[in-house]
């Protein structure tokens, strides 16, 4: 990996301006849940969503691969769309790349997403929390720091690397048959241990990959009232608003901001188009 190449290559972009769009990327369609939350929080903004589906899934690839993809996507969004801020709508990419991107793109506000461990610790009554995420996220130094940062907290975190799940969601979520996805959700939850509200049981589940909340009804079916599901998308959107406001980069509401969303894919656009039609409100397109 060549850090200096990434840094010198990306510092050449102009200073962010309030009228340009916010760039959002993920390995595929998972980040659309974050995009939806961003649109609700920031109704005057324009967005460019980039799905790196030619290189998905990220979760079972190495950190260096994901870092290079993040650099390439950030570079493309800056070059072709002059984005004023970047939302890394992917836990795996945030873990692998957000620090490097911040160091390399000093003036660009960058918001990442990470598993909601702190909110889970605050919400759990039994003190047993299940964390479902990709292998890449759970093995990252950033996640380990997040976990150790809660070291004083008595909560116990049960970690599960959900191999295959983001890929199944990418392939099935826009279709009628989610059988493989439902099966994997069942297997991964079962591997965590007993869910429930009694002492010793897991009563809170952190969905630590942005693909997972896209199939929320499947989680609900499996979990029912036994545990509370946590998705940090709305918190990410609030953080994005704060960061833009601090830097004076919120879009002026009196200026027209159409088209509000543009979406791009490095691979086949069909799934992304279908997913946008399903999860992102059509009036906003």
Hey, which residues are catalytic here? 90, 209
CA distances from 234 to 138, 192, 254 (A): 22, 26, 25
Q: Which of 35, 38, 50, 166 binds ligand DGL (CB under 6 A)?
A: 166
The correct pick among 138, 209, 215, 275 for binding ligand DGL (CB under 6 A) is 209
Nearest C-alpha neighbor of 45 from the set 84, 12, 95? 84
Please give the Cα distance from 227 to 131 (Å, whole number).
Answer: 12
Q: Is 210 in the site for ligand DGL (CB under 6 A)?
A: yes
In this chain, which stretch among 89-97, 173-181, 231-239, 273-281 interacts with ligand DGL, using CB under 6 A? 89-97
φ/ψ of residue 203, rounded to 5 = -110, 0
Tokens 């260096």 -> residue: 64
Rounded to 10 deg, the angle between the 216-223 and 179-192 helix axes is 50
Binding string to ligand DGL for residues 124 to 153, with x set by CB under 6 A, is what? ----------x--x----------------
In angstroms, the CA 162 to CA 165 distance is 6
Tokens 């490095």, residue located: 266
- Cα angle, residue 178 at apex, residues 172 and 179 outer, rounded to 5°: 125
Q: Is 56 in the site for ligand DGL (CB under 6 A)?
A: yes
> Which residue's C-beta sits nearest to ligand DGL?
59
| Nearest CB to ligand DGL, comparing residues 181 and 210 | 210
Instruction: Assess 91 for contact with ligand DGL (CB under 6 A).
Output: yes
Of 78-86, 118-126, 209-217, 242-250, which segment contacts ligand DGL by CB under 6 A? 209-217
Q: Which two tokens stand for residue 66?
A: 């994901």
Query: What is the smallest separation between the CB atom of 107 and ligand DGL, expressed in angstroms?
Result: 26
Binding region for ligand DGL (CB under 6 A) = 26-27, 30, 56-59, 90-92, 134, 137, 166, 209-211
């Amino acid at each position: 990996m060549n850090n200096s190449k990434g840094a010198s290559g990306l510092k050449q972009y102009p200073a962010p301006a309030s009228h340009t769009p916010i760039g959002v990327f993920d390995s595929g369609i998972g980040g659309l849940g974050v995009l939806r939350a961003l649109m609700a929080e920031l109704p005057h903004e324009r967005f460019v969503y980039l799905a790196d589906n030619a290189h998905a899934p990220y979760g079972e690839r190495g950190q260096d691969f994901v870092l290079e993809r993040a650099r390439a996507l950030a570079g493309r969004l800056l070059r072709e769309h002059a984005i004023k801020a970047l939302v890394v709508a992917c836990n795996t990419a945030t873990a692998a790349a957000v620090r490097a991107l911040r160091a390399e793109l000093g003036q660009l506000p960058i918001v990442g997403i990470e598993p909601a461990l702190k909110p889970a610790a605050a919400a759990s009554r039994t003190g047993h929390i299940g964390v479902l995420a990709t292998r890449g996220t759970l093995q990252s130094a950033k996640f380990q720091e997040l976990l150790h940062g809660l070291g004083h907290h008595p909560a116990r975190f049960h970690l599960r690397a959900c191999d295959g799940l983001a890929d199944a969601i990418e392939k099935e979520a826009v279709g009628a048959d989610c059988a493989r996805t439902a099966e994997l959700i069942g297997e991964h939850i079962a591997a965590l241990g007993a869910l429930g509200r009694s002492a010793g049981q897991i009563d809170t589940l952190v969905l630590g990959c942005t693909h997972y909340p896209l199939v929320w009804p499947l989680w609900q079916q499996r979990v029912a009232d036994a545990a509370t599901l946590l998705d940090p998308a709305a918190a990410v959107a609030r953080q994005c608003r704060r960061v833009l406001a601090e830097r004076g980069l919120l879009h002026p509401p009196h200026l027209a901001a159409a088209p509000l969303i543009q979406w791009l894919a490095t691979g086949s656009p069909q799934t992304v188009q279908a997913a946008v039609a399903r999860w992102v409100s059509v009036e906003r397109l």
